[in-house]
Every structure is written in structure tokens, then in C-alpha cells.
Structure 1
Amino acid sequence: MLLANAIGRIQAFNEQEAEAARRHSDQLTKPPGSLGKLEDVACQLAGISGERWPDMERKAVIIMAGDHGVCEEGVSAFPQAVTPQMVLNFLNGGAAVNVLARQAGADVYCVDIGVNAELAHPNLLSRKVMYGTANMAKGAAMTKEQSIRAILTGIEVVDELYEKGYRAFAIGEMGIGNTTASAAITAVLTGLPPEETVGRGTGINDEAWKNKVEVVKRAIAVNAPDALDPFDVLMKLGGVEIAGLVGVIIGAAANSCPVVIDGYISSVAALVASRISDKTKPSMIASHLSYEQGHAKLLKAIGLSPMIHMDMRLGEGTGAVLCFHFIDAALKLMQEMATFESAGVSKA
């Protein structure tokens, strides 16, 4: 019921405001469309918010953190202990996403939604649903109740930050093993073979990659997820942090706010959210094309086009945070650039 209420709050994309923003953009001192995606983003922001010039000054990066039982299968180059260690790094401001967020004027919020460790820090949002997922190669990663609770947690976090004045969101994640879960979800929801969805993750070699492919195949075979039921796929093959990100996307859409999607894992959450409700799609902005194999086809399945291509594959929300600069630039251009009439410049 709570999830249905959140989805019911999502307003239709405001085509009138988007078109009005487009008309204004065409009056600025430039050839129509010459600023490319900056113009598209400005119009999209108007349509999402229902305001010609939305205030996106307060921006938040929401990082969901959770562990994966499938790490038992040797799918990662890093030990699972890295998850809680990196969470503390986020909280202490020392990770790449912290540096980039400070530069972009955004605040980082790290949520312990499923880390397999006890964590305490004054800046931590402790919303633990479970201590890591079960090994999906042997059975379902989560119960239906756990996956729904994780989605609702993401929605609640956005609602709380919206009340504090945040109007633009970016998503990131931390969870050793989550590229394996993401590859499995992508394979089922897109119909692609695991050989095309499994990437190198944290930097595994050829032998480890082959093992990862076999683990994904085994997980799909063992769980037999229903490709037409995104909840079933998420529950059986997902991560609790991925489910949390699904909730963040739904929550952003429900509050008429843009949500900037990061890399492969975040895009998997976006795909699941879009399959739960296609009303979430207009609020999504794809930040970058990850170096992780399968990301381009995943974005295509959602219907998103990335703004930048920088061969990044770190996660954490790093690519999404970079695109806050483009959002700010798009809005500044719309608000401060002279029109042909005001500048006395002849049109074509």
C-alpha cells in the first residue's frame, strides 16, 4: 500500500512547461539546438518540476550500501570487508564521490541499508533491512518483504531530504559483489546472455570473469525469476542497496525532482524502477556511459542517453555528481543568456 501510494503521487511530465522552456531556449542568442543536451536537460527539468526555472540549488547524493552473499562464489577482486570500510570513508569525506560532491556543491548521504557489519557514525543514515543478502547462486537473495522494505526505505530517505529543501538527487552505491547481482538482473530483464552483461567489476582477470558468468547463469537457473515481474527479479537476484536505489528513484519522481543515474548498478535500479512504473522514467537523467560491459545496452533498454563518456566504472555516484555541473549550467544558460530581442541581435 505504501509503495502504491508513492507511485500514485508521481505527476505526469509537464509537457507545457517543457515546451515553454524550449521556446525560450530557441529565442536565446544562438542557433536553435546548438547547446545540445544542455538545452534538452533544461527542458526536461522544467517538465519534471512543473516550473520554467526550477530551483536546483540544494542537491543530494544518496549512496545506498549493502553486502552480497554471492561473494562466497569468488566473484570480486576485493574482500567483502571493503564495504564497511568504504562506508566509513564516505562518512569521513575521503572518497572520490565526496571530493566531487564538494566541488559540485552537493551533500552526500550514506545509507546503511544492508551492510554485513555493525556501523556507527554521526553522519550515517542507519536503515538496515538485513545484514547482506543471501547467496543468490543457491537461492533467493532476499525475501519479498525485505525487498519491499528496502524500496520503501529509499522512498522515505528522499521524502525526508525533500522536506529539508533538496530538489535534485543523484544516486550511488557501495557493495562488494553488486556488479554480479546487476549482471544477473540485466540478463533477465533485457534477455541478453550473461556473457554480454557480466563485466570486470573491480578488475577481475579472465578466469575470474568466466567464473562470474557461470555464477550468474547458476543464479538464474536456481531461482527461475519471472522476467515479467520486476519485484520477483529484484528479490531473487538483487541487492538490498539496489532495491534501496529503486526506492530513491520512485521517491524522486513522486516529489517531482530529477534523479541523476550513475553507472551500471544505478542503471539496473533505474531499469527495475521503470519496469515497476514507467511514470518514473521522465525524472531520470543518465549521467555517463560506464566502462562496465553491458551498460550501453542497459541504458538503451530503459530509453536513456548518457551525457558523458569518460570510461569511468567506480560507482559511488561519481559520474552522477559530475553531471550536477551540467544541470547547473543548463539552468544558468536559460536564466542569464540574452535573447535575440534583448541583445539586439538579428535572427537567422
Structure 2
Amino acid sequence: MNLDEVVKSVKQADEAAVKQALRRWDQVAKPLNSLGVLEEDIVRIAGASGTAAIDISKKAIVVMCADNGIVEEGVTQTGQEVTAIVAGNMAKGCSCVCIMAGKAGADVIPIDVGIAGHDPIPGVLPRKIKEGTQNFLKAPSMSRGQALRAMEVGIRLAYELKEKGYGLAGSGEMGIGNTTTSSAVLSVLLDQEPEAVTGRGAGLTTDGYSRKIQVIKDGIALHRPDRSDPVDVLAKVGGFDLAALAGFYIGCGMVRLPVVLDGLITGAAALAAVGICPSVRDFLLASHVSAEPAGEMVLDALGLRPAIRAGMCLGEGTGAAALFPLLDMAAAVYTQMSSFEEIQVGQYEHLV
């Protein structure tokens, strides 16, 4: 699969569908714009899918799972073995995102793109590029070729979801150490010092947090990733999960499948995807603002407005799972509610 060809195939939002969706919201018998961001999201879904006839009844959350060599540097509170354990729990339907997605009527699809260890995990899609990345204080996280292969996994998965009739995707990740890799990627792509974009992740002491920042600084100084080339950034200081997610977002653009982001890590991958293919922005929806320091910064850079502000920072795609029921409610109002004409009431007018 040629990335340049895929990128060229991604078109912008369907303006006709956007206009039709906006017109439909104006006709719905309620005050204009009174569902706020949820109305905007339905319009984005229309533009992304290419039709104002919204159908998001079939939903899935894709969770890219991978390990990160940088955990050798003491940047996490837990060991690398946790990645495989949580991925296995996802396959059994008992992880946090699975429980939430179950209430939201969505499928959860965990994918192994780089979990450390040889044995396949039952119920986890085997798409392993390598058993974890390298420690980016010693060598680039991965080769450029490996980054492109991980992206291809994501692109193909988007195609498969579309073929299976999914109308809306969510995205998540699982990988101990990936708040470090995502903060490193964001430091480069946002042109910010590591201190501005790095949080404590799943919980670090002050000394551990300082170490995490220094590790990111040293890794960037060592490899000098090229901000103008997001694939280079992903390869040098990123992770297989981030690269696969970036590919997934590009793939969603290719097949016109709207996709909901989770928090900081999916946001970092989305920023890389948009850097590679700017039109991808039209296919993204923000679920919430991550409690991580760069949460707001990432969404501003992507030009996205979140519907949820709840201080969440769990990951796994839980933000997408939380947004899905709200989108279902908004879609129900959009498709089912009477128009002003039907109830014989004068329609509100836009005064500004």
C-alpha cells in the first residue's frame, strides 16, 4: 500500500451534505444551536460520511496495543507486562472501555501492533510489527519502514470497518509508556518544550515526572525528528500504537468513515495524521479534553471542539465510548423530531 496514493485519495468533507445537515438542524423544532457541540458533531458526521442521512447505529472502538522500549528509563509506575494483560482483558470484554462500550452499544476491537512477548493473545487481532519499540534514548523507536507498516495496519483496518458496515468509529490505545512517546511526538509537532506537554501519566512521583521530561528532552536532542515530516517523528520518538492510529485516521478519511478521538495519545496520533494528510481533519471528532497538560493544546491545533469536559485521562478509547450515547441522542433528535413546519410554528431565524 502506497501512503502517497492513499493520502491523495482522501477528499475533504462533502459540502453538500454539510449544508443539508445544517439546514435540517435549522428546521428541527427547537431553539437554534441549542444542542451545542453535539449539533456540530452531527454535521461533521454528515460531511465525513458524504450524506445528511445520518446512520451511526453500528459503531466500533479500535484499540491499538503496543509496548514501548522507553519504559526501561523508569518513566512509568507499572511494568511492560501490563500492556498484554489489559489487551487480554479487552478481548474478554472486561476492561474499562469494554464495559463502557457495552452500555453504548459499540464493539471493541483490540489490535496487537507491537505488544512485547511471543504468544498471540486470544481475541486480540494479531498485526504485530515487532515486539515493542526500541528505547529512544538508545536508538530510534523504530525504522521508517516499520512506522509505515504500522500505519498500513491502521489504514487497512479502516477499510475493513467500512466494508463491515460500521457508520462511526472510535479510537483508543493501550501501551505502558505511551504518554511518554505521545508527549515526545507532541513536543515536536506543536513546537513546545516537553514541560508544556508532559503530564504524570498513570501517576508518577515528582522525581519520576522530572525524569520523564528529561528523557523526552534527551531523546529529541539525540534524534532531531523533523517536524515537517510526521512519519519521521513517529519513527524516532513515537510508538507502534501511535503510528497505527495515524494510519487509521488517514484510512478513515480514505473510506469516508467519521472517527472519534479519545484523549492525549489519540490526539497526538491525529496531529501526525493531519500533518501527513490535512484533509483528515474533516473526519475527526473530539470526545473530551484530556486532563493531561497538552489536552487542550492538541484539540486547538486540530481545530476540534470537545463535547465532554470531565477530567478524564484513562485512555483505551473510553472517551469515544462516553461520547457515543450523546451522539446517538443527538442523531435521534436530528432524524426524528418534528420540524417547525410540521407543528405549524414559525421557524427561528439566525440573527447574527
Q: Contact 1:263/1:315 (CA < 8 Å) preserved in 2?
A: yes
Q: Is the 8 A contact 2:288 2:308 kept in 1?
A: yes
Question: Scaled by the length of structure 1, what TM-score is found?
Answer: 0.97
1:168-317 aligned within 5 A: 168-317=168-317
**Which residue number corresponds to residue 34 of structure 1?**
34
CA distance in 2 between counterparts of 1:9 and 1:166 reads 20
For 1:305-336, what per-residue CA distance to the aligned partner results, in whole angstroms no more than 9, with x for missing partners?
Answer: 21111111110000111111122122111110
Residues 105-144 of structure 1 mapped to structure 2, 5 A cutoff: 105-144=105-144
For 1:130 and 1:49, the matched residues in 2 are separated by 34
- Identify unmatched segments of 5+ residues in structure 2: none
Which amino acid in 1 is paired with 2:91?
L
Q: Distance in 2 between matches of 1:24 and 1:111?
A: 38
Contact 2:37-2:305 within 8 A present in 1 as well: no
* Deviations 1:64-110 (CA, angstroms, capped at 9, x unpaired): 00000000100001111101111111111111100111111110110
Deviates more, 1:82-91 or 1:16-25: 16-25
Which one-letter code corresponds to 2:171 in the other structure?
I
SS in 1 for 2:342: helix
| SS of match in other structure, 2:186 | helix
Gaps of 5+ in 1: none
Residue in structure 1 matched with residue 46 of structure 2 by the alignment: 46
| Number of residue equivalences | 348
2:267·2:298 contact (CA, 8 Å) conserved in 1?
Answer: yes
Q: What secondary structure sits across from 2:345 in the alignment? A: coil
Question: In 2, Cα distance between the equivalents of 1:28 and 1:185?
Answer: 43
Indicate how the Cα distance of structure 1 residues 23 and 52 shifts in structure 2: closer, same or farther if over 3 A, else same. same
SS of structure 1 residue aligned to 2:56: coil
Q: Which moved more, 1:225-234 or 1:170-179?
A: 225-234
Q: CA deviation at 1:265?
A: 0.5
For the residue of structure 1 that corresponds to 2:308, the secondary structure is coil
In structure 2, what is the Cα distance between the partners aligned to 1:198 and 1:43? Answer: 33
Identity among equivalent positions (%) equals 40
1:76 partner SS: coil
TM-score normalised by structure 2 residue count? 0.96
Structure 1 residue 122: deviation in Å? 4.1
Q: After superposition, give the CA deviation of every residue in 1:154-202 in whole Å (9 maximum; x if it has no partner).
A: 1111212221111211110000000001111111111111111110101
Q: Deviations over 1:26-56 (max 9, x none)?
A: 1111121122112111211111111111321
Partner of 1:326: 326
CA RMSD of aligned residues (A): 1.2
Aligned AA (1:213)? I
- Contact 1:53–1:331 (CA under 8 A) maintained in structure 2: no
- Report the Cα offset of residue 287 of structure 1: 0.6
Give the ranges of 4+ consecutive aligned residues of structure 1 lying more than 3 Å apart after TM superposition. none
**1:346 Cα deviation after fit:** 3.3
Greater shift, 22-31 or 64-73, is seen at 22-31
